[in-house]
Structure 1
């Protein structure tokens, strides 16, 4: 497995969906030198194979940006290549494999190289290489050194870090009671009208714990991880973005921010929340409808399941 450092810097937004990652990605994509790519983990199935729409509105294969990326990275997109990456993902990129990925990451950083399964190491290397080539081609096409991937999954962040990519994880958290309320909603996907996945509060709570704990483990292994709370981002967007820009080493050009709003340009995002298609002015206000819209029993259940991390992230037990 190659440990060659990538000249492209990858900002990886981690956390559980419905936590504000798409919004943060769109805002980061407006910073000078940054290109928002969407949820790259879904590019292979939804973009290459299903030809779903890019954030610019064009089908994936008709989008000039992604066509150039595919040509630079792989000599063009192919179904066989996408299916191979998806097969590798099923083998190496899963939440249940985080303990093994953590051991590999620790060994790589210690220079031990004592990974028990050469075949697994080769598969991880091949999987991460596909992302490395894609990121580098996207940065070259966009004309900037930084790409933003909002794939969220802690396991993919482990894969990228273990393979030696220059990745900085932005750990996005939101009050789990708000996340659980959002996951209960029925939302249609704008690409095809099909309903987006919905989860029960209990299932959401377990996924919230798994993803956030996975990212906590990643930070313990020395990977750069910066935490951002959804609530802080919406309460103080300029301050939050300035802090992130300083940490990520990019210029804090915030001219797109106004009084409680942001002006978004077209983004070539391959998957994500429907707001990835939004162009123009958007309001930056917290969605706190869960405080009155969620049944009290639901909030109590989520609190009981997630309270240790709730306290760590400064979310109160009781609602004010």
Structure 2
């Protein structure tokens, strides 16, 4: 359908690293009316790595750090906002979309704090953010980094990663009232009630056919509950971190719908991150 897609066809997916954005984006890409970026040759087919308009998350410290950097929070006031830059971003992404499909998806973690910028660049586009329990995200990032990096400068404690989660989601909550098309999807509901949660996504995107839920199952759930529970013992290496997170952040975590002590404890919050959708 041409090399200049209508901005209303664009759907951005964001969410902190290890929150489930990749499996979610793949499920969307499996719908006959939706195309994600494929065959890009960059990590996780993320659009941030293809474009040259805005800095990638790693420039701002990468996973576990970028949301602490004010300059990473892009809005409509950013000097990067311009028709020329919007076209440059499209030019980087279009070759990797199937533009014959109605909706075109770009997934990158930092989109969680870039919604206002993306909306200004592409009026009428949508933003879907995947949110997952902050402790699960922290534990998953710790495991991921042990497997992928031996750089001591990338070390962060569980408490520091939870603090980063809170920083990112504070920004998202504050930005929500400025976003015309925002849907917050909770990872726990994607895994526990995939048909119901994907029905919300279908309605938000205006898709005629249901989104296939078979790729989402309990196998994608959190394998970290037992580890987190084991940290209740003071002598475990993570025991101090567990107590620190509980004493400092229990109330704020609860405000986002999560029980800091129980990875299975979730109830949809009443605030901005509990919105079914803004359309």
- 2:139 is matched with which residue? 181
Asked whether the equivalents of residues 27 and 211 of structure 2 are also in contact (C-alpha less than 8 Å), the reply is no
- 1:164 is matched with which residue? 122
- The alignment's TM-score, normalised by the length of structure 1, stands at 0.61
Aligned residues: 234
Asked whether the equivalents of residues 183 and 198 of structure 1 are also in contact (C-alpha less than 8 Å), the reply is no
Selected match of 1:243 from 192, 200, 205: 200
Q: What's the C-alpha RMSD, in Å, of the aligned pairs? A: 3.5
Asked whether the equivalents of residues 171 and 227 of structure 1 are also in contact (C-alpha less than 8 Å), the reply is yes
1:185-208 CA-partner distances (Å, limit 9, x unpaired): 23545xxxx669653223312321
- The alignment's TM-score, normalised by the length of structure 2, stands at 0.68
CA distance in 1, matches of 2:214, 2:250: 34
- 2:253 is matched with which residue? 310
Cα distance change of structure 1 residues 178 and 251 upon mapping to structure 2, 3 Å threshold: same
1:40-93 CA-partner distances (Å, limit 9, x unpaired): 11225xxxxxxxxxxxxxxxxxxxxxxxxxxxxxxxxxxxxx5x7659x979x9
Cα distance change of structure 1 residues 145 and 292 upon mapping to structure 2, 3 Å threshold: same
Cα distance change of structure 1 residues 232 and 209 upon mapping to structure 2, 3 Å threshold: same
- 1:115 is matched with which residue? none
- 2:6 is matched with which residue? 6
CA distance in 2, matches of 1:176, 1:20: 12
Secondary structure in 1 matching 2:188: helix
Asked whether the equivalents of residues 11 and 169 of structure 1 are also in contact (C-alpha less than 8 Å), the reply is yes
Structure 2: stretches of 5+ with no match in the other structure: 38-44, 61-65, 232-237, 266-279
Asked whether the equivalents of residues 183 and 199 of structure 1 are also in contact (C-alpha less than 8 Å), the reply is no
- 2:34 is matched with which residue? 34
Structure 1: stretches of 5+ with no match in the other structure: 45-81, 105-119, 262-282
1:246 Cα deviation after fit: 0.8
Secondary structure in 1 matching 2:50: helix
1:141-171 CA-partner distances (Å, limit 9, x unpaired): 3421212222121343332112234322212
1:297 Cα deviation after fit: 2.6
Q: Which runs of 4+ in 1 moved over 4 A?
A: 84-87, 135-139, 194-198
Q: Which moved more, 1:179-188 or 1:228-237?
A: 179-188
Asked whether the equivalents of residues 176 and 306 of structure 1 are also in contact (C-alpha less than 8 Å), the reply is no
Asked whether the equivalents of residues 32 and 251 of structure 1 are also in contact (C-alpha less than 8 Å), the reply is no
CA distance in 1, matches of 2:123, 2:89: 9
1:175 Cα deviation after fit: 1.2
